[in-house]
């Protein structure tokens, strides 16, 4: 596995691979990798000939009050995981390599989509995500890019961006990978102390509760959201940011389960903000 820190190195390697007619897969990450990230690499290895993973904590998607400086980092452990899953190239740039002095161009979706759900409390987040993913697409020029359903709003927004900006790149969504007890794997789980780690189970429990209600025939999203909210609110260490049911493509709120519906939540456990969700395909 090769490690590149500059855009020029990535471009040279990708050009050589493309000359051989190889298909390139990209897995963008912020590092401190776990089995959720590994599942994206596994899928990329299955679908592509060469896999590029980026490890970059992107400053433009963090607001000043967020955890940019505290965000966990362990690049050598990341490399061990990536190599063991068959990744071919890791792109690990410094901030200065990605954002030149005076950089002033952003990619921003101007619909309501990035203002829903996480956008309500993280107003610049998706502008930062779209900008950095757009840059990674321009640097790596992959055939396919792999993203987790855990960040369902991010994936929906990136699908819109790819369509609007005519990126000839196929986005592949991969299922949420969970700990054995249900908690969705996240780099931010490392912030949790033992008591908080236990309390954090209310997120996945609420997901399973909501899914069960849908399976049993409930179609009223207000009832589903209310039951999930009650379950989370009973945990004293939990503070709800949102629990919402939205259209799976537009992210607009919906009142009944029809078409593709995303039921998503963000919940603070102590100071740590965690997300989880499930998608219902009602056909």
Active site residues per annotation: 37
Q: Which is nearer to ligand AMP, 141 or 187 (CB)?
A: 187
Helix and strand counts by DSSP (H, E) for the chain: 10, 9
Task: Report d(CA 196, CA 198) in Å as an integer.
Answer: 5
Q: Which is nearer to ligand AMP, 137 or 147 (CB)?
A: 147
The alpha-helical segments, DSSP class H, found in 116-246 are: 118-121, 125-140, 152-164, 194-199, 201-215, 221-233
Phi/psi at 123 (5° precision): -65, -30
Instruction: DSSP for 32-65, please give it.
Output: S--HHHHHHHHHHHHH-SEEEEEE---GGGS-TT
Q: Which is nearer to ligand AMP, 37 or 144 (CB)?
A: 37
Helix or strand (DSSP H, E) at 97 = helix 95-98
String of contacts with ligand AMP for each residue 32-61, x by CB under 6 A: ----xx-xx---------------------
186 touches ligand AMP (CB under 6 A): yes
185 touches ligand AMP (CB under 6 A): yes
> What is residue 155's DSSP assignment?
H
Q: At what angle do helices 125-140 and 152-164 cross, to 10 degrees?
A: 60
Task: Report d(CA 55, CA 95) in Å as an integer.
Answer: 11
Stretch in the footprint of ligand AMP (CB under 6 A) among 3-11, 86-94, 161-169, 177-185: 177-185
Q: Which is nearer to ligand AMP, 29 or 134 (CB)?
A: 29
Stretch in the footprint of ligand AMP (CB under 6 A) among 68-76, 185-193, 221-229, 259-267: 185-193
177 touches ligand AMP (CB under 6 A): yes
Question: Per CB under 6 A, which of residues 113..152 are in contact with ligand AMP?
Answer: 147-148, 150-151
Question: Per CB under 6 A, which of residues 224..263 are in contact with ligand AMP?
Answer: none
Q: How far is the CB of 172 from ligand AMP (least distance, A)?
A: 10
Stretch in the footprint of ligand AMP (CB under 6 A) among 67-75, 115-123, 181-189, 246-254: 181-189
Cα distances from 184 to residues 37, 178, 195, 230, 279, in angstroms, run 12, 4, 17, 20, 15
The contact set with ligand AMP (CB under 6 A) reads 29-30, 36-37, 39-40, 147-148, 150-151, 174, 176-177, 184-187
């Amino acid at each position: 596995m090769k490690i590149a820190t500059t855009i020029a190195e990535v471009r040279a390697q990708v050009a050589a691979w493309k000359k051989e007619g190889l298909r390139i897969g990209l897995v963008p990450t912020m590092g401190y990798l776990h089995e959720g990230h590994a599942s994206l690499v596994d899928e990329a290895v299955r679908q592509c000939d060469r896999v590029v993973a980026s490890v970059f904590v992107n400053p433009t998607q963090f607001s000043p009050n967020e955890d940019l400086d505290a965000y966990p980092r362990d690049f050598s452990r990341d490399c061990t995981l990536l190599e063991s899953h068959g990744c071919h190239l890791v792109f690990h740039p410094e901030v200065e390599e990605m954002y030149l002095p005076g950089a002033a161009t952003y990619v921003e979706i101007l619909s309501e989509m990035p203002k829903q759900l996480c956008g309500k409390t993280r107003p610049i987040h998706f502008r930062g995500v779209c900008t950095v993913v757009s840059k990674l697409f321009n640097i790596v020029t992959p055939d396919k890019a792999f993203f987790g359903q855990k960040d369902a709003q991010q994936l929906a927004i990136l699908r819109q961006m790819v369509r609007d900006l005519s990126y000839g790149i196929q986005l592949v969504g991969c299922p949420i990978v969970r700990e054995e007890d249900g908690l969705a794997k996240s780099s931010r789980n490392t912030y949790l102390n033992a008591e908080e780690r236990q309390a954090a189970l209310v997120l996945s429990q609420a997901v399973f509760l909501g899914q069960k209600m849908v399976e049993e025939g409930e179609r009223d999203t207000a009832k589903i959201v209310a039951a999930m909210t009650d379950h989370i609110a009973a945990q004293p260490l939990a503070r709800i940011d949102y629990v919402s049911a939205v259209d799976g493509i537009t992210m607009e709120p919906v009142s009944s389960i029809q078409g593709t519906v995303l039921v998503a939540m963000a919940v603070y456990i102590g100071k740590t903000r965690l997300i989880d969700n499930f998608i219902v395909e009602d056909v």
